[in-house]
């Protein structure tokens, strides 16, 4: 009790200095408190409406962390200080994870859809930088928020097909048949069961020999572009083309077929070394085969905040490419690596994980920013 406050038993509480002078009250205070507690339990209280009810009462002082107080009145008219329940904090890791899980299991809010289908090639000749992971999880995130998305798996390893749980064993109609046999793209597309609005054109191991088989064909660099040209893209908002870790004919086909390039960059030194060669290839394709081609997006992946090198690489990339680099950064995450073994993207496997939340933010940023290279958020 504070100095001058009224006890529930109707007795005045002695000032602190007076209690200290009368030292005999130290041992007898327990009995008084017990009697007071018994008396309190027999009384009913009513809350006082108005500012006094909502305003904070006299607390025990800073640093005690007991939260705001509410005032009430006992039957004898004396003021009573009632502790209020602490308000729940919504912006917590658990709350964000729960919200992400709800989005994964139900339709999330609809993000803006582009006026025309955006065809984006995800390329980097260095392996292990997160090309397939980025393609699959960006596609799943956009599809969960009302966008119609197609993933074209152009990597003979077929990892994107595996992550989306689309059958891609030998003999299945695949992108190989589209490039080499001139089959229509619509004949090889399969819906992704776990994510409505998402579909995939799978890759099989046959695609590994496609680069040799394409050599004698006319306009071999434009085979995929022609296939997309014959396909009705009016029913799609995004097409992501997942490239192999090379700068061969398959990657060139992807660069010719798309006006936009998304480059995932691992936050390590080796990733920067190969970036110059990739940009040189992009410029060559733009000069001779696809004048509309441009690097529209750069995504920093596998960021480890514990290392100084990761921060230095991120700073260098942002300094050089400016607004082309997404603000969202993908951290290292075990869940992201585990998800493909279950035939899922991390968006459905563990939507509350740090990797899933980061990819969700990156996809949202892409949806809201313009299609122009380095465009600002709308």
CB under 8 Å to 224, separation ≥6 — which residues? 152, 154, 175, 178, 179, 241, 253, 254, 256, 257
pLDDT for res 49:
42
pLDDT for res 71:
53
Nearest of 132, 359, 120 to residue 245 by alpha carbon: 132
E strand segments, the chain:
46-47, 69-73, 79-83, 118-122, 149-153, 190-191, 198-201, 238-242, 260-266, 294-303, 325-331
Domain chopping of the chain, boundaries: 1-42, 44-87, 93-368
Give me the residues paired with residue 277 across strands: none
119 SS3 class: strand
Q: Note whether 36 and 8 are within 8 A (CB).
A: yes
Give the phi and the psi of residue 121 in degrees, each rounded to 5.
-90, 130
pLDDT for res 375:
43
Give the global pTM: 0.72
CB under 8 Å to 149, separation ≥6 — which residues? 139, 140, 142, 143, 197, 198, 199, 236, 237, 238, 239, 240
Cα–Cα distance between 300 and 282 in angstroms, integer? 19
pLDDT for res 106:
55
pLDDT for res 97:
63
pLDDT for res 169:
84
- Backbone angle region of 165, left / alpha / beta, with phi > 0 → left and psi within -120 to 50 → alpha: left
CA atoms within 13 A on the CB side of 377: 12
Q: Note whether 345 and 104 are within 8 A (CB).
A: no
Question: Which homologous superfamily is 93-368 in?
Answer: P-loop containing nucleotide triphosphate hydrolases (3.40.50.300)
pLDDT for res 354:
92
Q: Note whether 212 and 254 are within 8 A (CB).
A: no
Cα–Cα distance between 119 and 135 in angstroms, integer? 12
CA atoms within 13 A on the CB side of 47: 13
Q: Output the tens digit of pLDDT for each of the chain's 378 residues.
A: 444 444 444 444 444 444 444 444 444 444 444 444 444 444 443 444 444 444 444 444 444 444 444 555 555 555 555 444 444 445 676 666 666 666 555 556 889 999 999 999 999 988 889 999 999 999 999 999 999 999 999 999 999 999 999 998 888 899 999 999 999 999 999 999 889 999 999 999 999 888 899 988 888 999 999 999 999 999 999 999 999 998 899 999 999 999 999 999 998 888 788 788 899 999 999 999 999 999 999 999 999 888 899 999 999 999 999 999 999 999 999 999 898 888 889 999 999 999 999 999 999 999 998 544 444 433
Element (H, E) at 143: helix 131-144
């Amino acid at each position: 009790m504070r100095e001058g406050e009224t006890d529930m038993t109707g007795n005045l509480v002695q000032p602190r200095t007076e209690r200290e002078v009368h030292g005999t009250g130290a041992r007898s205070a327990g009995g008084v408190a017990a009697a007071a507690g018994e008396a309190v339990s027999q009384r009913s209280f009513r809350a006082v409406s108005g500012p006094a009810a909502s305003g904070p009462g006299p607390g025990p002082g800073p640093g005690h962390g007991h939260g705001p107080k509410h005032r009430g009145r006992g039957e004898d008219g004396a003021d009573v200080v009632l502790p209020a329940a602490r308000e729940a904090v919504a912006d917590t890791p658990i709350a964000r994870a729960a919200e992400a899980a709800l989005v994964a299991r139900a339709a999330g809010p609809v993000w803006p859809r582009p006026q025309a289908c955006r065809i984006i090639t995800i390329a980097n000749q260095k392996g292990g930088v997160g090309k397939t992971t980025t393609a699959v999880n960006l596609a799943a995130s956009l599809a969960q928020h009302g966008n119609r998305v197609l993933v074209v798996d152009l990597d003979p390893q077929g990892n994107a097909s595996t992550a989306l749980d689309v059958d891609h064993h030998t003999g299945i109609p695949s992108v190989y048949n589209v490039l080499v046999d001139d089959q229509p793209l619509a004949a090889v597309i399969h819906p992704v069961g776990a994510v409505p609005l998402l579909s995939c054109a799978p890759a099989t191991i046959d695609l590994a020999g496609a680069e040799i088989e394409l050599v004698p064909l006319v306009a071999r660099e434009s085979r995929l572009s022609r296939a997309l040209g014959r396909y009705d893209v009016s029913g799609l908002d995004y097409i992501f083309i997942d490239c192999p870790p090379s700068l061969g004919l398959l990657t060139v086909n992807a660069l010719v077929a798309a006006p936009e390039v998304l480059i995932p960059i691992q936050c390590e030194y080796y990733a920067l070394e190969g970036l110059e060669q990739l940009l040189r290839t992009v410029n060559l394709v733009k000069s001779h085969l696809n004048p509309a081609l441009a690097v529209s997006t750069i995504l920093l992946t596998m960021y480890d905040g514990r290392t100084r090198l990761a921060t230095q690489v991120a700073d260098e990339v942002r300094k050089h490419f400016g607004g082309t680099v997404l603000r969202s950064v993908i951290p290292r995450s075990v869940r992201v690596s585990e998800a493909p073994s279950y035939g899922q993207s991390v968006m459905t496997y563990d939507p509350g994980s740090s990797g899933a939340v980061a990819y969700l933010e990156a996809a949202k940023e892409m949806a809201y920013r313009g299609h122009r290279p380095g465009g600002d958020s709308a």
